[in-house]
Chain A
Amino acid sequence: MEYFDTLIVILQSTIRVSVPLILAALAGLYSERAGIFDIGLEGKMLAAAFAGGAAASVFGSAFIGLCAAVFVSVCLAIVHGFASITQRGNQIVSGVAINFIALGATVILGQAWFRQGGRTPQLRDGERFTTVELPFAAELADIPVLGSIYSNLLSGHFLLTYLAFALVPFTWWVLYRTRFGLRLRAVGENPGAVDTAGISVTWMRYRAVICCGILCGVAGAYLSMAMTAGFVKGMTAGKGFIALAALIFAKWKPVNVMFACLLFGFLDAMSIRMQGNPLPFIGMVPVQFMQALPYLLTVILLAGFIGKAIPPRAGGVPYVKER
């Protein structure tokens, strides 16, 4: 029973740390499925985290913070879109530029506005998201196993957490069951065919990039307004890149993305939990090993186990109507 409780706690932590990964990886999914590679996920999340923290503290409302986060992230996404769709620039270069802009601009603006070394003021209750209890969580807690799973594991998360998990089937539905999704995928595979059908490749790709911006914005807001209370410089700490790895790992499929992110989140939660505690059967494992595990796993699994990860065929290639 003690092991079971520990497991529940680790899984709970897994869910918390997976949410920004899932949101960011789904964001990347929309963009990359439409043929726009995006390594600027990290930068967009960071900028959104800052905008969310700043707006929430100035206007005193978590909702306004979320809107500001999404707005800023969408703006950056459109910049990326302008560079790589309209101007046909290199998508990798544009993405890297966005990461750098976000890293520098958040600190400079934060310092200029709040004078706290690039941090935003600490958010009070009401200015940040709070956890919600699912109905009957307290009553059902005493039921063995199932009650514990329901009231400890599933209940007591942020609304954004439920949103993130709801977005996984929603994204699947959009991509595979709607006209928009079909065209979005087609634009990433064979934009010429889409163009022949009389659909604007440019507009399609812009819409995909905007979807990406919205989701990155939510991910950023989750970091600064749900998990913590305020922005701290560089607080994304590489999550955008892990999300990118998860996306490749999952072969650009929504449900796989969720499982890949949960796996990375689980390893992260494990590494936190295992610090200073010996593992059963194995004994003491160095923390550094656990921290490197997600990356090692990506390389190993990609190299041999999950087969070839084939990106959308037109990914990274700007579309030119006439050659």
Chain B
Amino acid sequence: MKRTLLSFLAIAAMSATAMAADIKPAIIYDLGGKFDKSFNEAAYVGAEKFKTETGIDYRDFEIANDAQREQALRRFAKDGNNPIVMAGFSWAASLEKVAADYPETDFAIIDMVVDAPNVRSVVYKEQEGSFLVGVMAAKASETGTVSFIGGMDIPLIRKFACGYKGGVLATNPDAKVLEAMTGTTPDAWNDPVKGGEITKSQIDQGSDVVYAAAGGTGIGVLQAAADAGKLGIGVDSNQNGLQPGKVLTSMLKRVDVAVYNAFMDAKDDKFSYGFSSLGLAEDGVDYAMDEHNADLVTDEMKAAVEAAKADIIAGKITVHDYMSDNACPY
């Protein structure tokens, strides 16, 4: 009897370790780094949430340059990590190669579509979230001029700009929207000095609400806007707390949800493939309200934004997707 019990225990213990070994989730961040207070940090938050809820540890890695991409990914796949989540569109090229070599491993990529049988691609309708902050910016602006600062000049960032412009002009057709990109190389994601300089230039041209979709550069943008007594709008994560009382709101991109879901689905053994596009209706994008911006956002602004949100979800407003035709009609 005792022996049977012991063997039962042993089997149980073994199967428990087997279960835990079954899933070895991993996440790899993009160049901005884990604590960029923006895109990558949102991914980190999702992974941490999974860890606290399930107790399953995960591996993560921050690449230091582009050359490490394929190497890091291959290494993780070789070590038997499964699933592997990649944050950032720049992973696509490496993933296409590695996914074919490791058909048993599940991959998930955020912000880009990779067409492979073992890859889940998650993209966001950033234009919808940007539309909402555009509505709020137009309401908050006193000068009638608002502006946008992007990081690297790529279609994805133009998508933010286009949605924002749409939201501003839908609310105030006479408003002027200034647009600028920080640069054309990946350096543009980490250049707060230039970001601040562009902000000052735009403020001189009359802008009083500046929306930054520029990774680490955005920190300089929000700082310069706050220094000048104007309002900034954060992106990806909730950046309202970076300059309390000077950040109107943040366009939330729920990267954390995508990471969490990928890990969770793998754990529950129901990892799905193909691509999904998360918008307002799927809670993939949103705008941020917290104690830091409560005094800035009036009830009227909030009502306007909520109305726009409801209209978009109901399909009464369709926000143009820049990436569908590489043009912005607004």
Contacts and interface: CB of A to CB of B under 8 A. Distances in A.
Interface in B50-79: 62, 64
A228 B35 contact: no
Given A13-B201, A16-B197, A233 B180 contact: no
Contacts, number: 84
Interface in B160-206: 178-181, 183-184, 187, 190-194, 196-198, 200-201, 204
Given A107-B64, A233-B33, A234-B190, A228 B180 contact: no
B145 interface: no
Contacts of B32: 117
Interface stretch (B13-21, B216-224, B262-270, B316-324): B216-224
**What class of interface size applies to chain A in its complex with B?**
20 to 34
B35 A119 contact: yes
B181 A275 contact: yes
A126 interface: no
Contact of A117 (B33, B178, B187): B33
B193 A272 contact: no
A116 B184 contact: no
14 contacts: A13-B201, A17-B193, A115-B35, A223-B193, A227-B193, A228-B196, A232-B220, A233-B190, A234-B190, A272-B180, A272-B201, A275-B180, A276-B180, A288-B184
B291 to A, nearest CB: 18
Interface centre among A117, A233, A273, A275 (most CB of B within 10 A): A117
Contacts of A233: 33, 190, 216
B197 to A, nearest CB: 6
Interface in A270-311: 272-273, 275-276, 287-288, 291
Given A228-B219, A229-B223, 6 more contacts: A9-B201, A9-B204, A13-B200, A119-B216, A230-B219, A237-B194
B204 A272 contact: no
For B197, B200, B219, the residue with the greatest tally of chain A CB atoms inside 10 Å of its CB is: B197
A118 B192 CA distance: 14
Contacts of A16: 197, 200
A235 interface: yes
A223 B187 CA distance: 16
B270 to A, nearest CB: 33
Contacts of B48: none
B181 A228 contact: no
B112 to A, nearest CB: 22
Which of A228, A238, A291 gathers the greatest number of chain B CB atoms within 10 Å?
A228
Residues of B in contact with A, size category? 20 to 34
Given A117-B35, A118-B33, A272-B180, A235 B193 contact: yes
Interface string A1-20: 00000000100010011000
B140 interface: no
B153 interface: yes
A295 to B, nearest CB: 13
B36 interface: yes
Given A232-B219, A276-B179, A17 B187 contact: no
Given A13-B200, A237-B187, A117 B62 contact: yes
Given A117-B32, A227-B193, A272 B184 contact: no
Nearest to A238: B187
B257 interface: no
B253 interface: no
B242 interface: yes
A235 B187 CA distance: 9
Contacts of B193: 17, 223, 227-228, 235, 237
B36 A117 contact: yes
A237 B37 CA distance: 20
Interface of A: 9, 13, 16-17, 104, 107, 115-119, 122, 223, 227-230, 232-235, 237-238, 268-269, 272-273, 275-276, 287-288, 291
Contacts of B24: none
Interface of B: 32-37, 40-41, 62, 64, 153, 178-181, 183-184, 187, 190-194, 196-198, 200-201, 204, 216, 219-220, 223, 242
A234 B187 contact: yes
Contacts of B220: 228, 232
A130 to B, nearest CB: 9
A137 to B, nearest CB: 17
Contacts of B40: 117
Contacts of A115: 35
B59 to A, nearest CB: 17
A38 to B, nearest CB: 22
Contact of B191 (A116, A118, A235): A235
Contact of B190 (A9, A13, A232, A287): A232
B239 to A, nearest CB: 11
A17 B197 contact: yes
Contacts of A230: 219
Contacts of A235: 190-193
Contacts of B204: 9
A169 B118 CA distance: 66
- What are the 9 A-B residue pairs with the smallest beta carbon separation, nearest first? A117-B35, A117-B33, A275-B180, A9-B204, A228-B192, A116-B35, A237-B191, A228-B220, A272-B201
Contacts of B191: 235, 237
A111 to B, nearest CB: 8
A117 B34 contact: yes
B61 to A, nearest CB: 13
A224 B201 CA distance: 19
A83 B191 CA distance: 31
